Amino acid sequence: MKLDIYQIDAFADQPFTGNPAAVVPLTAWLEDDVLQNIAMENNLAETAYIVPTDNPSHWKLRWFTPTTEVPLCGHATLASAACILRHIHPQLSEVRFETLSGELIVQRDGASFIMDLPAGKPQNWAIPEAALTALDVPIVTSGISTYPFVVLENETAVRSLDANKAIAAAKLAHESSELIVCAPGQNDLDFVLRFFAPGVGVDEDPVTGSAITYITPYWAKQLGKNKMKLFQASPRGGHVSVEMCGDRVRLGGQACDYMRGKITLINQGP
């Protein structure tokens, strides 16, 4: 069996930035262990699998890290939409995905793509002392919005944070072993963040649509703004625009094609 595979840098306006995702179009779902093994072999933060329906603009979508299936992944959703709208059905301007997080819609907007995702619901949460000690930087506050998060004093503190300490803190902060670290931005940025997820096999994710979606309501309330610009300050980095729309968040960003190839599966059919 041979499968097409695309690797696309999401939330990237130039190659080798943003967050790379693999997108594998299928005609029907393969066995879960095969999907997981392909994701493990790809060794990217996410591998997305898309399956068509009778409507060219409606697809089924699942996401796998190298170790597990996840219920939501923003950057791989954007990459999947870019794959469909550029390479499979370039005549379309919108694609709808059936996912574990409900229906997700992505629209073409010039050179960018606008993605609609369910907003998080920030709540009070105190980071455990052991995790705070491991993080080894002062925090302003902490909370939880599906993922736990801590707010640092400023952008410089987020950018200069020791990744190994943040990974250790994520493992101690919550049973999910995930942690958002964020702060107010400078100049034209409203906020910055980094995301650490050793619990799903991703020590530091380059640009994380789900984390951005979950933390956007917090910053919208803090800043009194519905439209914001942010930067995920990972080593690769990525710029994202966000807009609060009721209980949804609209994320905007570009995507750069990197690679197209073939997967060869032995003893998996013709």
* Span of 23-27, 179-183, 233-237 with lowest mean pLDDT: 233-237
Residues acting as catalytic residues: 46
What's the angle, vertex CA 38, arms to CA 17 and CA 81, rounded to 5?
A: 50
Any bridge partners for residue 116, and if so which?
A: 105, 250
Query: Does 226 have pLDDT greater than 90?
Result: yes
CA 104, chain centre distance (Å): 13
Strands 19-25 and 46-52: parallel
- For residues 180-202, give the mean pLDDT: 95
Is 252's pLDDT higher than 60?
yes
Q: Which two tokens stand for residue 18?
A: 């943003």
Residue 267 clears pLDDT 80, i.e. is over it = no
CATH architecture of 2-113+253-264: Roll (3.10)
- State which amino acid sits at residue 252: G
189 CB burial (10 A radius; 0-12, 13-18, 19+): middle
**Is the pLDDT higher at 181 or at 13?**
181
Comma-separated ranges of CATH 3.10.310.10 domains in the chain: 2-113+253-264, 123-246
Q: In this predicted model, what pLDDT tens digit does every residue of 118-128 receive, in sequence order?
A: 899 999 999 99
Question: For the residues of 69-107, what is the DSSP string, one character each?
Answer: EES--HHHHHHHHHHIIIII-TT-SEEEEEETTEEEEEE
> How many Cα atoms are found within 13 Å in the side-chain-facing hemisphere of 114?
13
Where do runs of H (alpha helix) occur along the chain? 32-42, 74-83, 129-135, 155-159, 163-173, 209-223
Take residue 155 and report the two structure tokens written for it. Answer: 């952008």
What's the pLDDT score for residue 13? 87
pTM of the model: 0.84
Mean pLDDT of 223-241: 95
Give the pLDDT band (50/70/90) at residue 270.
low
Distance set, CA 52 to CA 89, 206, 264 (Å): 11, 28, 21
pLDDT given at position 269: 55
> What local confidence, expressed as pLDDT, does residue 207 receive?
92
Q: Distance between CA atoms of 70 and 178, rounded to whole angstroms?
A: 13
pLDDT-above-90 percentage for the chain: 92
Question: Which CATH fold would you assign to the domain 123-246?
Answer: Diaminopimelate Epimerase; Chain A, domain 1 (3.10.310)
pLDDT at residue number 145: 96
Length of the chain (residues): 270
Residue 201's pLDDT is 87
- pLDDT tens per residue, range 192-206: 999 999 998 889 999
- Farthest CA pair distance, the chain: 57
The per-residue pLDDT for 268 is: 62
